[in-house]
Structure 1
Amino acid sequence: MQISYKPLLYFQKRGYHVCQRIADRLGIRAKVVRTSFMYLAFVTLGFGFALYLFLAFWMRVKDLIYTKRTSVFDL
């Protein structure tokens, strides 16, 4: 039973952050975004999951390129 919870906890810690950022951007709750991705994945046979992975990848690339600088001297 412990073996099945480790991957679940890993994806919860790392995967839900994508939904949270999308929800913050849209101004809605993260729970709505998560359930929308789940329904989209079931209805379109995996397209929702592929879209989710693409958005996670895009946000990671954006974070690597655009970093917040707190001061002018952080260049």
Structure 2
Amino acid sequence: MSFIIQLKYFFEKHGFHVSSRLADSLGMRANSVRLFFIYISFVTAGLWFGVYLTLAFWLRLKDLIRAKRTSVFDL
């Protein structure tokens, strides 16, 4: 088999087993644990996008408050 297929089987065997073991230790279904990880990844990605938008708005507001003056006589 090629190296990529062996690598794929390795990750499928060991990577997907994590949620199954976690679900068994918590007494839940593995499907619920996988959905939780999917939802939490979307929440964290959305959280940082919200922080980015807030900072962009804050910088824009700062630029509007401090108007750039070209000379001393513009006061």
TM-score (norm 1): 0.45
Task: Give the number of the structure with larger relative contact order, counting CA–CA contacts within 8 Å between residues 6 or more apart.
Answer: 1
Larger radius of gyration: 2
TM-score (norm 2): 0.45
